[in-house]
Amino acid sequence: MEFLYSIQSLVARNVVESKLGEVNSICGADVSYWRGEAFGVAVKEEGERREINRVKAKVEFPYVPGLLFVREAPVVIHLLKDVGCDLTFIDGHGLAHPRFAGLATVVGVLLGRPTIGVAKSRLVGELVEEGETTFLEVKGRRVGVKRGRYYYSIGNMVTLEDVIKFSFTYPSVLAIADQETKRFRREGQQELPKGEESG
């Protein structure tokens, strides 16, 4: 476990908080599970064009709060490495993490591209209200905002201001990815319903 922590510390030290450039293409990735199998989906939107990538993989490591990247980063990175995007949304926190290295940050740093983490619940940090905005702070560091029921945080190569700009509407790429990841799972389920041969 200490080994995984050191990896996260290294990732955290390589995060770049730079201003986002022009955004013409947006990507999003999500993963669903069934019997130890991960069903990953990446969605890319550029204008009216929509591209969808899928991959099924076996996942051994259990879910441990703070170590989600061990389960999902390999799948998500595989799906996105050959798909360029100006900005990528990841289902999970970015810097809003105990060691400032949530899934969105790990993916962003390893792929060297802009990412924003979007989570449905809080992992760590305190909420600080300032006018219309509710910020998320971890160990005194302002890493994101809570908008509606979602938490948006810096992944990599974006600023807090960029995160705020994209926090007003839930990313359609994530909605589609979540939807497609479940459709993909159904296909994998009907292949082995109950007690059919598995090999």
Partner DNA sequence: GCGACAG
Partner DNA sequence: ATCTTGTCGC
Binding residues for Mg ion (CB under 5 A): 30, 91
State the number of binding residues for DNA (CB under 7 A). 27
H-helix or E-strand spanning residue 76: helix 68-80
Per DSSP bridges, beta strands 150-156 and 141-147 are antiparallel
Angle at Cα 97 formed by Cα 91 and Cα 100, nearest 5°?
110
**139 near DNA, judged by CB under 7 A:** no
Residues 153 and 94 sit within 8 Å (Cβ to Cβ): yes
DSSP state of 128: E
Question: What are 152's two structure tokens?
Answer: 């948006």
**117 near DNA, judged by CB under 7 A:** yes
* Interaxial angle between packed helices 103-111 and 68-80, expressed in degrees from 0 to 180 and rounded to the nearest 10: 40
**33 near DNA, judged by CB under 7 A:** yes
Stretch that binds DNA, among 13-21, 76-84, 112-120, 129-137 (CB under 7 A): 112-120
The number of C-alpha atoms within 13 Å of 135 and in the hemisphere containing its C-beta is 14
- Considering CB distances under 5 to 8 angstroms, the limit depending on partner class, which of DNA, Mg ion, none binds residue 75? none
Residues 94 and 155 sit within 8 Å (Cβ to Cβ): yes
Q: Which lies closer to Mg ion via its Cβ, residue 31 or residue 109?
A: 31
- Considering CB distances under 5 to 8 angstroms, the limit depending on partner class, which of Mg ion, DNA, none binds residue 33? DNA
Pick the binder of DNA from 26, 123, 143, 158 (CB under 7 A): 123
Site string for DNA, 140-179 (x = CB under 7 A): ----------------------------------------
- Considering CB distances under 5 to 8 angstroms, the limit depending on partner class, which of Mg ion, DNA, none binds residue 65? DNA
- Considering CB distances under 5 to 8 angstroms, the limit depending on partner class, which of DNA, Mg ion, none binds residue 29? none
Residues 91 and 174 sit within 8 Å (Cβ to Cβ): yes
Residues 31 and 39 sit within 8 Å (Cβ to Cβ): yes
Q: Which of residues 76-95 bind DNA (CB under 7 A)?
A: 91-93
Q: Which lies closer to Mg ion via its Cβ, residue 54 or residue 142?
A: 54
DSSP state of 93: -
Residues of this chain that interact with DNA (CB under 7 A) are 30-34, 63, 65-69, 91-93, 97, 102-104, 117, 119-124, 182, 185
